[in-house]
Amino acid sequence: MTDVWTPPYPEPGSANDAAFIGIGEIPSGVYRERGFMAQIVEASARAIQDARLAHTDIDQIVLIPCLHGIPDQADLIFSRVAEELGLHGRVKSSVMVHSGGSTSDNATRMAAGLIASGQARNVLVVYSERWGSADLQAMIDMLSVNGIPKEWEAPTGLQFNAIGGLITQRYMHRSGSSAAEMAAICVALRDWANLNPNAMYYEKKLTVEKIVNSKMISDPIHAFECPFLADGAGAFVMTSATEAARKHDAWVRIGGSGGCVSHYSAGQDADLGVLGWVKAAEEAYQAASWGPEDADLGEVYDSYAAVLAIALEGLAISPEGEAAREFHKGRFSPGGQFPLNTNGGLLSAGHTGVGGGTALLIEGVRQLLHRAGPDRQVPNAQRCIVGGTGGSYMDAQIMMLERVTR
């Protein structure tokens, strides 16, 4: 028997209630001429301007790590961003938060905690990644060393597409989903990306036929079902609800969150077709007092189609085993009943490493601020479920975002 612990959640609208007030993003894709730090400064400047703040109003920087190289990561760790933004001598601290693909959710929790506890007033959270311009074999090697136990799984030749293959095989077996139904997931995301000028594949169409006719990479994953590595950057600014109300008519709050670290090594997850979503969702929905039936849209981590399908079922957005078939029927596509990954997701907006989940989070905030533009704005969006995971899909992190008006 475990004690029931009810956390002291912030009162909505209070000085302890964290609020997203600004977002900034530059296009994802392969942009060899764009520098790592240039991306950070531009995305940060856009977010600060969107928040209607001066750069000097930022008193805390939370950094989302890059994975393309140690020197740039070191620049993040050793406060280069504070100096580049002209905030040296002003910010209280500049700190990195890292949990792979779910970093966005953990960075948000940390920023919200700093605000709720009075440790910070205006927090800038920013990511920048250069995966699209990095050497592909070097990235394959990096992703077959990191997150895979060297004693136990490296001797099998495991790497990230193989983990995707193992999960997809298991998911297709459990759900009875066909190759065409799995491919429909990538097509729905591409249809969304075709509405997002910042997406890597804004101008390229994708079809089920093209996917199932592409070469097999790691059975049952085809070439067009693998994530495309991209360069990109994004940022957001958080403050308290009382501060937000001074300059903004609308902002976004965190209604609740949930999380579960289910495993480290892919071989040790009890069922790779489930992952940690069920436990995380139970916590998140209880905390927020609302659930999938109340949500207007979702932004859920999608580095492989099966990873997204598993998440949607764990989140109870789809019935068990039905997510891929629901994609195939168009439920999650533009014009469908439940808008999902409206920026195109990692699979079509571009996989910007740890930043891919951050791009989804930013899109969720953008939708709730009603700033997604005429092509893809979800009409009157009030509530969004954001889901993150990473590594060997070791954890499931959920943010329940709510639009607030003054």
Partner 1 sequence: MSVTNVLRDGGYIQNAEELTGPFGAALAEGKLIVQRCLDCSALIMYPKYRCPTCFSGNLGWHQVSGAGTLATFTILRYGPPSSFDVEAPYCIGIVKLDEGPQLMCRMHPGSDGTWDHYVCEQRVNFVPADAAEVAERPAAWFSAALG
Interface positions with partner 1 (CB under 8 A): 137, 140-141, 144-145, 149, 151-159, 161-162, 165-170, 173, 215-221, 265-268, 270-272
Nearer to partner 1, 144 or 367 (CB): 144
Surface-to-core class of residue 265, CB atoms within 10 Å of its CB (0-12 exposed, 13-18 middle, 19+ buried):
middle
For partner 1, which is the closer residue by CB, 11 or 271? 271
Q: Are 61 and 126 in contact (CB under 8 A)?
A: yes
Min separation Cβ 198 and partner 1, Å = 28
Q: Whole-number minimum distance, CB 193 to partner 1, in Å? A: 24
Tokens, residue 148: 């895979």
Left, alpha or beta for 106 (phi > 0: left; psi -120 to 50: alpha)? Answer: alpha
Minimum Å distance from CB 356 to partner 1? 19
Identity of the residue, 70 or 216, whose beta carbon is nearer to partner 1 in the bound complex: 216
Which residue(s) pair with 234 in the sheet? Answer: 25, 127
Residue number with CB closer to partner 1 (4 or 270): 270
CB of 145 to partner 1, least distance (A): 7
**What is the spatial order of strands in the sheet that 297-300 belongs to?**
93-96, 60-63, 123-130, 231-240, 18-29, 250-261, 395-405, 383-388, 297-300
CB of 142 to partner 1, least distance (A): 9
- DSSP class of residue 249? S
Contact 123, 58 (CB under 8 A): yes
Task: Tell me whether residue 210 or residue 370 sits nearer to partner 1 (CB atom).
Answer: 210
Q: Which letter does DSSP use for residue 7 in this model?
A: -
Q: Going along 8-59, which residue ranges are E strands?
A: 18-29
* CB nearer to partner 1: pick between 15 and 216: 216
At 164, give phi and psi (nearest 5°). -60, -40
What DSSP designation does 309 have?
H
List the one residue out of 232, 236, 234, 233 whose CA is nearest residue 61.
236
Q: How far is the CB of 177 from partner 1 (least distance, A)?
A: 13
Residues 383, 278: Cα–Cα separation, whole Å? 20
What is the nearest approach in angstroms of partner 1 to the Cβ of residue 30?
18
Q: Which is nearer to partner 1, 268 or 377 (CB)?
A: 268
